Structure 1
Amino acid sequence: MTDQALDLGGPDRADAVRSGRGDRFFGRQRELKSLHADIEHAGLDTLAGRKAARARVLLIAGRPGSGRTALAEELARQLADRYPDGVLRVRLAEPGGRPVPLEEAARHLLGDLGIASPPGAGDDELTEMVRDALSVRRALLLVDEAHDAEHVDLLLPHNPDCLVVAVSDGPLTGIPGVRPCTVGGMDAKAAIELLTAFTGEVRITVDPQAAEAVAEECGGLPAALVLVGGWLAARPRASVADAAKRLRALPDDGEQPRGGRPLARAFRLVYESLPQPAARILRLLALAPAGFADAHTASALAGCSVAAARTTLDGLATLGLLRTAGDGFEVPGCLTPLLRTLYEVSDRPAEVQLARARMLERTVRRLQACRAITEPEGSPARKKLAGLPRALRFTSVGEADAWLRAHRSALLACARLAVDDGELDTLARRLVAALVRALAAHQGTEAAASDLYGLHRLVLDVAERRGLRREQAAALLNLADLDARTGRTEDALARYRAALDAGRAANDPYATGRAMESVGGAYQELGDWQRAADWYGRALAQRQARGEQADAARLYGRLGTAHTYAGRYGEALRSWRAAAAGYRRLGDVPAQARALSEAARIQEYAGRPEESLHTCREAVEWARRAGDVRLQAALQLRLADTLDRLGDPAAARLHRLTAERLLGTEASTYEIRSGPEED
């Protein structure tokens, strides 16, 4: 398409229109009064002389476009002073009705509460954490798009000092004690005030009957009035009567429910006035993940320049078709179904799929640039970054980090949508991989573990669907590692075994060896030393068959550890000596010294102090050659302990003095244990 953009007089005019209505709230005084009265109204528990067991729930129910969320926000603003722990907000559905995973909603609330959520935790665990956190707080919880009563119920705090304000299409059956407030159209006075915020007072004053007619044609719905107001604001010479006349001339959409027809007519009035390029951008914004779009998203969807997309988005927002959200815009949920209907009629499926592909490709490139900026100057990633168009690049790590944090929810939603789509799996895999790398680079794997867990599950979904065994094994290993790190060892073990099967099916020796070693580690964590040693032995045999000497030496050490815990000191000693020999062949002096120190420890456990003394002295010499001062000091202390047991306190004192000279007063903080009972 061309770069023709929707321009309504430039940013100054757009800002003037927005500041005219600002964040003002119009009307709804009757509803607000009713909601305040419901808060003060005694519940059944209070009337029965019991303290309420849970937070009170107020329900604001109404059709999309009725201003139900704005009413909830105004109520929260008025009540904020009563709740010193703040107002928490969570949305249970994206614009357009797609449910937000309960896990994601709970993690969002925990993040706002400053509580880290464990990666891989299920809905029950996360919602329980939310309830526990709110049980000791006095907070107001605003739950928007509460499409599922069960999900709302799972988030309700067991604390009568909290208040929950839920916004929904209809009743939340199943939640006892809900206080409903049904929102319909605004009264005529408030509707005209809202319209005046766009048009100015003059056009309303000269024809008040036309203003009343517009309010009636819009059914008093704030979303419809905003659209008509934006249409009038973009046409300073048009009268309010013109708008009323045009609205009457538009036929009702028979496929729309009666209550939604005024909004559909107001939308059609504005949409049909748009230039074709702007109308196409608006239609395709229904594809934006989580309803959030910035200039890059719009540019990619429509295939136009970023500058043209930015100008068009500003114009659409001025018309009331978009809402400002951070550094981008949000498609109102009440308009998303209308936009979807339009692109299904106006755009061929192949064009829509191409728009999706362009959006995913642009997101991948932005994520690659976001990660590349963290690399050192002159690195291959930075050189590749320099080759990207200027609009895609970030000028600093701070800018990239701020972008990643601000767009996190939309990026995760984009990944979920790409995987669920099922027709663009190659792009979906690239997107997830780029997002994983960007999160790890900016936040670190520990801080981003919860997001990474969800992304690895998406990779697993695609790999299983496409029969990609190698990627399936990799995803299972990553998920199992996160399970093991958070103490879910049984879950980790099951996934490691599944990764082993996938690795074997893919004939992937790395995944197979890694999985066998990890299975051994899981059994070791569970205290099953026999199985741990067995799996370490299998992994060791594979490494030896492939000539991977470094990994073989490391596995000898893990095998020695398992035998030690099992009390099989002879086998443990052989394993550690084999590890030391392997490191010697590799020329890894520090690792050789550590392996010998472990061998000395095993000899001491086995009741062979003279042999331990000899091996420990050998280890000291290798540690000296490696320049490992701390290991030298630790071994000197072990020598001292052994000499004490052998009845030579004078020599023991000399070794302790040597350790003190090596590390000063810090020597006592680095201790090698001298008995199996201390393990």
Structure 2
Amino acid sequence: MTDQAVESVGRAATSKAAPATGQFLGRRRELKALRADIERAGLDTMAGRKGAGPRVLLIAGRPGSGRSALAGELAGQLAADYPDGLLRARLSTPGGDAVSTAETARELLHGLGVPAPPGAAEEELTELVRAALAERRALLLLDDATDAEQVEPLLPDASASLVLATSTGPLTGLPDVRPCTLGGLDTGSAVELLRRFAGTVRVTVDPRTAETLAEECGGQPAALVLVGGWLAARPKASVADVTKQLWILPDGAEEPRTVSRPLARAFRFVHGSLPQPAARILRLLSLAPAGLADAHTASALAGCSIPAAQAALEEFAALGLLRAHGPQFEVPGCLMPLLGALVTSQDRPAEVELARARMLERTVRLLQSCWAITEPDGSVVRRKLAGLPRSLRFTSAPAAAAWLRQMLPALLASARLAAADGELDTLARRLVAALVRALAAHRGTDAAAPERYALHQLLLKIAERRGLHRERAAALLDLGDLDAGAGRIQQALARYRAALDAGRSARDPYTTGRATESVGGAHQELGDLQRAADWYGRALAHRQSRGEQADESRLHGRLGTVQARAGQYVDALRSWRAAVAGHRRLGDLAGQARALGELAGVQESGGQPDESLRTRTEAVECARRAVDVRLQAALELRLADALDRRGDAAAARLHRGSAERLLVDLKSAYEIRGVSAED
């Protein structure tokens, strides 16, 4: 497809942006009824029950009826009464699938500023939401709910907050909720909406036809916007022209049942007026993750240049087919089923699969560029980055971070869709791995832990589906670490054991050794010191057989720690001496100093105070030779505490004073370095 063909969509339209619709139109009766419902006494209040839950208002209507706009207008009018702000979550995907309650809870917790533990169960997350809302007076807008089970777990037992929910029908199961059911706009408001797109003259000269057109659109705001956008793009067309064409347009053979007939007809009319290349781009936007697309997404889907894709997106927004959000464009949820049906009927499956693959490949390259920009200048990664096309490179790390933050919902949705597809698993693995790297580079591993947990779950799913034992072991290890960090030690232990089995199946010595050590660490956290020592011993033997001296020294130390906690001081002394010897052979003075400090503690606990003092002194000297000021100060303080316990207060004061001077000098050095950096 040529860029000239794609850009031909612009020749049929003169406006580059959708006409401003101004303030909210109509729905005065519905707004009045909803506001009155807020003041109405609830069943709990009338029954004299204390701690009544939040008032829940439901706006019911078919997609395209303006239910979300009405909810947003009401929320805006009530904002002053709810000082803790507006929280908004969409409970359905653009394709109509229900969003999991856990995902919704995470989104709300983010808006509330409450940290969500990575990998937490749905019950824990919803409990955090209810607890946070119980202390606030906020507006909670839950858009496009599929059933009451999505809403009920998020409602606190007692709260001064207000919940606005939108849905296709009544949410059976929620007590004391009366739906405000939407039909079409009143004729005056519908004609006014057309006037704002088509202009005053065309409506004024033929008011009867304008009313007929509004009736033909069923008063549905989405249908009126599409027809209005078509008129705005064609200043010479009359209202009668579009009314006649809509009147003679036959019904579609396989239109989705969830879409109203007026909206489906208006969409088919506008889609049919597009040039063939532009119509294809529009259809392929149904593949955009979470219904969000930018120029890169559209370019990859259509196989055209980025400028041509950007021009097409802007024209679609002018026609009311997309909503513009800065550089991103959103496919309205009411149009997604119609676009999906057209893709199924008009595009070959192989072409659709190729378009999806191009989109994922483009996303992978953008993510690789996003994390590569954070690497040091002159590194191998930065040299590779310089070889990418200019359109795929970011100008700076802050620009890359801003892109990642804005695109994150679409990126996460893209990863989920790619993992669920099953036909593009190689691309899906690359996409998830690149997204994990980008998040860690720009947000840090701890801050990005919730997203990383979900992404590693996707990698695990792909690895299990494809029988990739090494990748399965790696995903299980990462998930186990995140579980352990969140305090779910038993769950982490199960992950580590499964990773060990997968590592053995893959005959991968790295994952086998890592999993063995992690199993020991989990038992240590659980207080099962005997099993911890046994597993550390197995991990140590594994490292020794491979000649991995640094890991061997570290494991001697972990084993010594467990043995000391179990009161096995003779074994602990042997392990820590082996750790000291290992660090000495490696020339690791800092590691040797730390091991000597731990050895001294075991000696003191084991009834060898004199040997402990000599070892502590040796540890301080090692740290001094390593030029590790912070470590030297810490070891000096430990030596001072030991001298205090021996009753040598004068020597203790000397070492404590030495440690304090070291810390002061270290602080001064940091301050001088900071001033130099600013200069």
TM-score (norm 1): 0.94
Q: What is the CA distance between 1:33 and its match in structure 2?
A: 1.3
Q: 1:169 to 1:465 in 2, by over 3 A?
A: same
Alignment correspondent of 1:672: none
Alignment correspondent of 1:527: 527
Q: What runs of 5+ residues in structure 2 fail to find an aligned partner? A: 667-679
Q: What's the C-alpha RMSD, in Å, of the aligned pairs? A: 1.9
Q: What is the CA distance between 1:619 and its match in structure 2?
A: 3.0
CA distance in 1, matches of 2:329, 2:258: 29
CA distance in 1, matches of 2:428, 2:187: 49
1:664 matches 2:625: no
Query: Which letter does structure 2 place at the counterpart of 1:14?
Result: K
Q: What is the CA distance between 1:46 and its match in structure 2?
A: 2.0
1:32 matches 2:34: no
Query: Which letter does structure 2 place at the counterpart of 1:622?
Result: C
Alignment correspondent of 2:387: 387
Q: 1:644 to 1:370 in 2, by over 3 A?
A: closer
Q: 1:642 to 1:52 in 2, by over 3 A?
A: closer
Q: What is the CA distance between 1:379 and its match in structure 2?
A: 1.6
Is the Cα–Cα contact under 8 Å of residues 469 and 505 in structure 2 kept in the other structure?
yes
CA distance in 2, matches of 1:557, 1:361: 45
Q: 1:342 to 1:618 in 2, by over 3 A?
A: same
Q: Give CA deviations for 1:198-252 in whole Å, capped at 9, x if unaligned.
A: 0011101111111111111111111111111111111111110011100011012
Is the Cα–Cα contact under 8 Å of residues 26 and 190 in structure 1 kept in the other structure?
yes
Is the Cα–Cα contact under 8 Å of residues 632 and 659 in structure 1 kept in the other structure?
no
Alignment correspondent of 1:164: 163
Query: Which letter does structure 1 place at the counterpart of 2:372?
Result: A
CA distance in 2, matches of 1:10, 1:611: 90
CA distance in 2, matches of 1:102, 1:211: 44
Q: What is the CA distance between 1:631 and its match in structure 2?
A: 4.3
Query: Which letter does structure 2 place at the counterpart of 1:26?
Result: L
Give the 5 Å matches for 1:73-84: 73-84=72-83
Q: What is the CA distance between 1:390 and its match in structure 2?
A: 1.4
Alignment correspondent of 1:112: 111
Q: Secondary structure at the match of 1:312?
A: helix
1:144 matches 2:143: yes
CA distance in 2, matches of 1:69, 1:523: 51
Give the 5 Å matches for 1:80-91: 80-91=79-90
CA distance in 2, matches of 1:83, 1:621: 63
Q: Secondary structure at the match of 1:90?
A: strand
Is the Cα–Cα contact under 8 Å of residues 191 and 211 in structure 2 kept in the other structure?
yes
Alignment correspondent of 1:677: none
CA distance in 1, matches of 2:312, 2:185: 30
1:307 matches 2:307: yes
CA distance in 1, matches of 2:527, 2:615: 29
Q: What is the CA distance between 1:39 and its match in structure 2?
A: 1.2
Q: Secondary structure at the match of 2:174?
A: coil
Alignment correspondent of 1:673: none
CA distance in 2, matches of 1:636, 1:59: 67
CA distance in 1, matches of 2:24, 2:469: 56
CA distance in 1, matches of 2:347, 2:153: 41
Alignment correspondent of 1:548: 548
Q: What is the CA distance between 1:373 and its match in structure 2?
A: 1.2
CA distance in 1, matches of 2:381, 2:147: 45
Q: What is the CA distance between 1:655 and its match in structure 2?
A: 5.2
Is the Cα–Cα contact under 8 Å of residues 13 and 233 in structure 2 kept in the other structure?
no
Query: Which letter does structure 1 place at the counterpart of 2:15?
Result: R
CA distance in 2, matches of 1:560, 1:113: 44
Q: 1:636 to 1:503 in 2, by over 3 A?
A: same
Q: What is the CA distance between 1:595 and its match in structure 2?
A: 1.5
Is the Cα–Cα contact under 8 Å of residues 12 and 234 in structure 2 kept in the other structure?
no
How many residue pairs align between the two structures?
A: 662
Q: Give CA deviations for 1:487-526 in whole Å, capped at 9, x if unaligned.
A: 1111111111111111111101110111111111111111
CA distance in 2, matches of 1:518, 1:446: 19
CA distance in 1, matches of 2:135, 2:639: 54
Q: What is the CA distance between 1:53 and its match in structure 2?
A: 2.0
Q: Secondary structure at the match of 1:446?
A: coil
Alignment correspondent of 2:187: 188
Is the Cα–Cα contact under 8 Å of residues 130 and 154 in structure 2 kept in the other structure?
yes
Is the Cα–Cα contact under 8 Å of residues 560 and 576 in structure 2 kept in the other structure?
yes
Alignment correspondent of 1:322: 322
Q: What is the CA distance between 1:48 and its match in structure 2?
A: 2.2
CA distance in 1, matches of 2:554, 2:83: 55
CA distance in 2, matches of 1:147, 1:355: 30
CA distance in 2, matches of 1:293, 1:259: 22
Q: Secondary structure at the match of 2:16?
A: helix
Alignment correspondent of 2:518: 518
Alignment correspondent of 2:675: none
Alignment correspondent of 1:607: 607
Is the Cα–Cα contact under 8 Å of residues 477 and 499 in structure 1 kept in the other structure?
yes
Q: Secondary structure at the match of 1:49?
A: coil
Query: Which letter does structure 1 place at the counterpart of 2:330?
Result: E
Q: 1:638 to 1:359 in 2, by over 3 A?
A: closer
Q: Secondary structure at the match of 1:487?
A: coil
Q: Give CA deviations for 1:140-168 in whole Å, capped at 9, x if unaligned.
A: 11100101310111111223411111110
Q: Give CA deviations for 1:523-549 in whole Å, capped at 9, x if unaligned.
A: 111111111111000000000011111
Give the 5 Å matches for 1:139-538: 139-256=138-255, 257=257, 260-538=260-538
Query: Which letter does structure 2 place at the counterpart of 1:549?
Result: Q
Q: Comparing 371-380 with 300-309, which one deviates more in the overlay?
A: 371-380
Q: Give CA deviations for 1:289-344 in whole Å, capped at 9, x if unaligned.
A: 00001111000000000000000011111111111123211111111111111111
Q: Secondary structure at the match of 1:42?
A: coil
Alignment correspondent of 1:130: 129
Q: What is the CA distance between 1:87 and its match in structure 2?
A: 1.3
CA distance in 2, matches of 1:665, 1:362: 52
CA distance in 2, matches of 1:600, 1:171: 71
Alignment correspondent of 1:50: 49
1:14 matches 2:11: no
Q: Comparing 552-561 with 258-267, which one deviates more in the overlay?
A: 258-267
Query: Which letter does structure 2 place at the counterpart of 1:660?
Result: G
Query: Which letter does structure 2 place at the counterpart of 1:354?
Result: L
Query: Which letter does structure 1 place at the counterpart of 2:358?
Result: R
CA distance in 2, matches of 1:470, 1:452: 19
Q: Where has structure 1 moved over 6 Å in runs of 4 or more?
A: 9-12
Q: Secondary structure at the match of 2:53?
A: coil
Is the Cα–Cα contact under 8 Å of residues 640 and 653 in structure 1 kept in the other structure?
no
CA distance in 2, matches of 1:642, 1:290: 61
Is the Cα–Cα contact under 8 Å of residues 145 and 168 in structure 1 kept in the other structure?
yes
Is the Cα–Cα contact under 8 Å of residues 633 and 660 in structure 1 kept in the other structure?
no
Q: Secondary structure at the match of 1:63?
A: coil
Is the Cα–Cα contact under 8 Å of residues 299 and 305 in structure 2 kept in the other structure?
yes
Query: Which letter does structure 1 place at the counterpart of 2:592?
Result: Q
CA distance in 1, matches of 2:470, 2:655: 53
Q: Comparing 469-478 with 79-88, which one deviates more in the overlay?
A: 79-88
The percentage of counterpart residues that share the same residue type is 67
Q: What is the CA distance between 1:51 and its match in structure 2?
A: 3.7
Q: 1:529 to 1:161 in 2, by over 3 A?
A: same
Is the Cα–Cα contact under 8 Å of residues 253 and 261 in structure 1 kept in the other structure?
no
CA distance in 1, matches of 2:394, 2:258: 48
Q: 1:654 to 1:105 in 2, by over 3 A?
A: same
CA distance in 2, matches of 1:278, 1:481: 48
Q: Secondary structure at the match of 2:273?
A: coil
Q: What runs of 5+ residues in structure 1 fail to find an aligned partner? A: 670-679
CA distance in 1, matches of 2:644, 2:84: 60
Query: Which letter does structure 1 place at the counterpart of 2:399?
Result: E
Is the Cα–Cα contact under 8 Å of residues 96 and 334 in structure 1 kept in the other structure?
no
Q: Comparing 34-43 with 229-238, which one deviates more in the overlay?
A: 34-43
